[in-house]
Structure 1
Amino acid sequence: MTLATKGPRDDRWYLNIMSPNTKGSKFAWLDPTSIYINAEAFNDLLGDLITDLSDVEFDVVAGLDAMGFVLGAALAGRRGVGFLPIRKAGKLCVNTDKVSFDNYSGRTQDMEMRLPAFAPNTRVLLVDQWIETGGTMDGAVRLVKRQKGVVAGMVAVAIEENDRTTEYRANYPCVSAVVPGSRWQKECNSQTLSSFKSYKPNAAFPQTRRQ
């Protein structure tokens, strides 16, 4: 299927099919999973991120619970490295290390990583679906460093701009489908996309395969 909204490869066309929040303030302000369900969109997203990661060396990808699992595992497969889940507290059935963090909604949560997860000096790429306040990512950074790992970089569909994420960009390679300085970045910072005006759920429908 070729989408009518698709533009040039470097236009990050797939960002146009992300879904606006329809369930209220307790939820994130948009949902990128409409990219994942569309094969063309998902593959172009992964291709762009892998290209932008070409100069970043890492030994394992760590995905943040829960939607970072989708993006992180896919990137790990593309790059040929292993995948490590960083989970909400109480989900892992092995020994764990735990930290508390404040998520995008301001709620305090705990998350865990298996203990041990890797050898000292292992380069870990941290992946989440979206980095809004940066609080969840901060917890992941602390977990990696406590096991003497090296944070190799950070990846997300978008990294909103604020004091904490500015610090991340200064200290780590940070890659996002939303390119800093683009109109997408400005719209993400304001938490509303111009594409919402013409959003249609069926733009992301996967192509059906009939025998």
Structure 2
Amino acid sequence: MTDPKGPRDNRWYLSLMSPNTKGPKFAWLDPTSIYINAAAFSDLLDDLCADLDAGEIDVVAGLDAMGFVLGAALAARLERGFLPIRKSGKLCVDTDKVSFSNYSGRTQDMEMRQPAFLPGTRVLLVDQWVETGGTMRGAIDLVQRQAGVVAGIVTIAMEENPATAVFRESGKVVTAVLPGSRWQAEANRQRLSSFATYDAARTFPTAGRTAAP
């Protein structure tokens, strides 16, 4: 069997992501099918961690909600603690709150426990997908309000637009979808060529093994 991982720029697991079937109120794709396939999830984490230095990170913060999955997995790999940044009204402790506009254009509130860390703590921010950058901007504001240092941003993909360009220009950004790749061009168009042949069964775990492409 061909090694499913292949060369670093192959990123075979990206083709497992499924298209939106529920309309414009939802994100245009769903990356969670990567997570259920152990080989895909492991290779995704390998690729992201290859560009990270745990010595430059004190804590990993995941953004509510799907950033919890990717962030917690990366925290475990990097042997760092995990901090959830939550939607408003979920935490039963003192919090700081920001308002932001999400990918759908709706205004939402997001909270972080207060205090969450000592001043100067280096915080790696993780979300599943960065489209307009509003949610990530809110998380950056929360970290900086507590005198934390943003150690970088990690996500499966960051779509290219003026708002997200600021993130790449001002700090470390690590993405599974590499800038300049055909995956990046397709993410910018919000339509992956792999949607044409998407087969959910490719992602299913089976007894004793995981599905490979």
Structure-2-length-normalised TM-score? 0.94
> How far apart in 2 are the matches of 1:182 and 1:43?
21
| Paired AA for residue 8 in structure 1 | G
Residue 45, structure 1, aligned to residue 19, structure 2: no
Check if 1:133 corresponds to 2:105.
Answer: no
Rounded Cα–Cα distance in structure 1 between residues aligned with 2:3 and 2:12? 7
Query: Does the 8 A contact of 2:59 with 2:123 survive in 1?
Result: yes
**1:179 matches 2:170:** no
Q: Does 1:28 align with 2:27?
A: yes
**Equivalent position of 1:71 in the other structure:** 70
Q: CA RMSD in A?
A: 1.6
Residues 56, 152 of structure 1: 8 Å contact kept: no
The answer as to whether partners of 1:58 and 1:152 remain within 8 angstroms in 2 is yes
> CA separation in 2, counterparts of 1:203 and 1:5?
15
Pairing 1:81-92 to 2, within 5 Å after superposition: 81-92=80-91
Q: Which amino acid aligns with 2:146?
A: Q
% identical equivalent positions? 68
Distance between the aligned counterparts of 1:131 and 1:73, measured in 2? Answer: 17
**Mapped partners of 1:105, 1:48: distance in 2:** 29
Q: Are 1:60 and 2:53 an aligned pair?
A: no
Q: Which residue of 1 aligns with 2:4?
A: 6
Aligned length: 208
User: What is the distance in 1 between the residues matched to 2:203 and 2:130?
Assistant: 23
Separation in 2, partners of 1:208, 1:138: 42
Task: Tell me which amino acid in the other structure corresponds to 1:150.
Answer: V
Aligned partners of 1:5 and 1:13 also within 8 Å:
no
CA positional deviation for 1:55: 7.8
Q: Which amino acid aligns with 2:205?
A: P
Q: Runs of 4 or more off by more than 4 Å in structure 1?
A: none
- In 2, Cα distance between the equivalents of 1:128 and 1:56? 21
Q: CA deviation at 1:208?
A: 2.0
Contact 2:129–2:156 (Cα < 8 Å) also in 1: yes
Change (3 A) 1:209 1:6: closer
Amino acid aligned to 1:104: Y
CA distance in 1, matches of 2:93, 2:140: 20
Secondary structure of the structure 1 residue equivalent to 2:26: coil
**Which consecutive residues of structure 2, in runs of 5 or more, have no partner in the other structure?**
none
Deviations 1:135-182 (A, max 9, x none): 000000000000000001000000000001111001110000000000
Write out aligned runs for 1:146-157 (5 A): 146-157=145-156
SS in 2 for 1:52: coil
Note if contact 1:103-1:136 (Cα within 8 Å) is conserved in structure 2. yes
Question: Which stretch shows the higher mean deviation, 56-65 or 169-178?
Answer: 56-65
Partner AA of 1:161 in structure 2: E
